[in-house]
Chains A and B, each alone.
Chain A
């Protein structure tokens, strides 16, 4: 069975021309990422059927929602949609909002009411009116409402962008829990890379109405041909598993292909999956193994490719291990250091990682 999400949407929207095609696995979180106005929301609305583009194709795990001859109306598509603003029904209580799209027969509920309410922490205000809730609470109810309609796919249009920093931090853990506990694929529109790094497994990179690239998050983050590499915030997300935890020092050992990171952390259970985020600016290069340093994470690595990045800076793509076959890292160094050390593509170096942040529990691998 082709368990993929296949989308091709093309058309003219006023002055804007959209021609976006991608195919991603129908599991995990796929982020549609790009600058404002690149057409990500139009793609999401197209997938939902809220936007009807004549030249379109859309299928979810083999179920064709739109092709040259058919266009399934929105209300016949098994989807959940979370809008930028919560868009709750003002005339209904929180409970009635949650149940609006839920099947009448409780036995048809794969995603159960009590589970969702607990997962999103909305038990205490079920009988209140939406207008009495805070922005973050409203958005959680909107997510619950979408989930209880028993969707085969969850579409989220920048669900956090209308919220302030604090509220965002309050909601992100809920999204992560959602991601861990539910097997529904998610299409997540965002222009905020830090959200994408925390939540996404796959990435669809958009610009000016077109898809530049689509694939696993870490592969696109480290692809030298894509602009992510040269951004100031360039980073890679590595899914690691916990090998050991030193309670005395509060340090976890996390293993990725070709390396073992030591990262300060709250207690973690052995064998658990975790995601590490490593900024290109936090990785420096050395020719000899540095001794007696406060930097504990030093790895043998091979320079796989290099490119100039803005003002007198170079960004190198590294493969961990002597042969460079391990996990990919990015390193940003000044052009001057690059020249003085005589670095070049194909060289073996030592990569010193000054900081590696645990961003979340990584999703358990699915086949």
Chain B
């Protein structure tokens, strides 16, 4: 029993670590992307938006399959991995982070983009007339005003990474401590008829999801109140 709970904690810890890394990277990539999508008048904008949104409709196994090809020994991921003496990025924690980032990107970009669009031109124009460079206006006006969007995006990105299964299974497999995250662990427990553990983890996920959705709704309510 004690051994099992150590295994459970390992996968919980691994999942949280993965979600934290992925969320930080998602914010770093998603913010400029969302800004460009919200502000640009380029014709390419909607094409890029569609690419970002693809994981919403693509089966995770498809995304996982292509990632396996790209990250594997024969792909560019393998070439990259050989720099530090590894054979492949697939079946590694790094590979999981890359996959999670791609898979959760729309969940982070969309709310931040919406928040940037909701600000409109005026506050940025006002900042410019007050000698604020575009860089300063972005950090002191756009980001604070869009903060609810950032919060929503971060929560969604984090939660989505925690719950992801298909992509992980395709590119990560089931290596304890390296790629065996919660969703895979649950699958594994069910496969091997360890229902107690499956129950424990699943119930935990239910509580976690409830908290996430509740938090989102509260943020949205606060946003609405501020807007009115």
Contact = CB atoms under 8 A, between A and B. Distances in A.
Interface of A: 48-50, 73-76, 79-81, 83, 85, 87-91, 100-101, 131, 145-146, 149, 155
B132 A83 contact: no
Contacts of B122: 83, 85, 87
A73 B124 CA distance: 13
Query: Ordered nearest first, which 8 A-B pairs have the shortest CB separation?
Result: A101-B130, A81-B129, A74-B128, A91-B144, A87-B126, A75-B128, A87-B122, A149-B130
B145 interface: yes
21 contacts: A50-B125, A74-B125, A75-B127, A75-B129, A75-B132, A76-B131, A79-B129, A83-B126, A87-B123, A87-B125, A89-B123, A89-B141, A89-B145, A90-B123, A90-B226, A100-B130, A100-B132, A100-B140, A101-B129, A145-B130, A149-B130
Given A48-B129, A83-B122, A89-B145, 14 more contacts: A50-B125, A75-B127, A75-B129, A75-B130, A81-B126, A81-B129, A87-B123, A87-B125, A89-B126, A89-B141, A100-B130, A101-B130, A149-B129, A149-B131
A88 B134 CA distance: 17
Contacts of B123: 87, 89-90
Given A87-B123, A91-B144, A91-B145, A74 B129 contact: yes
Most buried by A among B128, B131, B140: B131
Most buried by B among A48, A74, A80, A89: A74
B130 A50 contact: no
Nearest to B143: A91
A84 to B, nearest CB: 10
A101 B125 contact: no
Nearest to B228: A131
B131 A75 contact: yes
A50 B128 contact: yes
B133 interface: yes
Contacts of B128: 49-50, 73-75
A134 B128 CA distance: 25
Contacts of B133: 75
A91 B131 CA distance: 18
Most buried by A among B126, B133, B145: B126
Interface of B: 122-123, 125-134, 137, 140-141, 144-145, 147, 226
A145 B144 CA distance: 19
A149 B126 CA distance: 12
A215 B84 CA distance: 75
A90 B145 contact: yes
Given A89-B123, A90-B226, A91-B145, A80 B132 contact: no
A101 B129 CA distance: 8
B129 A50 contact: yes
A238 B130 CA distance: 36
Given A87-B122, A90-B145, A100 B129 contact: no
Nearest to B140: A100
Contacts of A74: 125, 128-129
Given A83-B126, A89-B123, A89-B126, A101 B144 contact: no
Contact of A100 (B127, B145, B226): B127
B124 to A, nearest CB: 10
A48 B130 CA distance: 11
A145 B126 CA distance: 10
Nearest to A74: B128
Contacts of A79: 129
A294 to B, nearest CB: 52
Nearest to A151: B129
Contacts of A146: 129-130
B40 to A, nearest CB: 16
A308 to B, nearest CB: 46
Nearest to A80: B129
B226 A101 contact: no
A80 B132 CA distance: 12
Contacts of A76: 131
B168 to A, nearest CB: 38
A173 to B, nearest CB: 25
A74 B121 CA distance: 14
Contacts of B126: 81, 83, 87-89
B175 to A, nearest CB: 45
A351 B82 CA distance: 99
A146 B125 CA distance: 12
Nearest to A78: B131
A168 B114 CA distance: 35
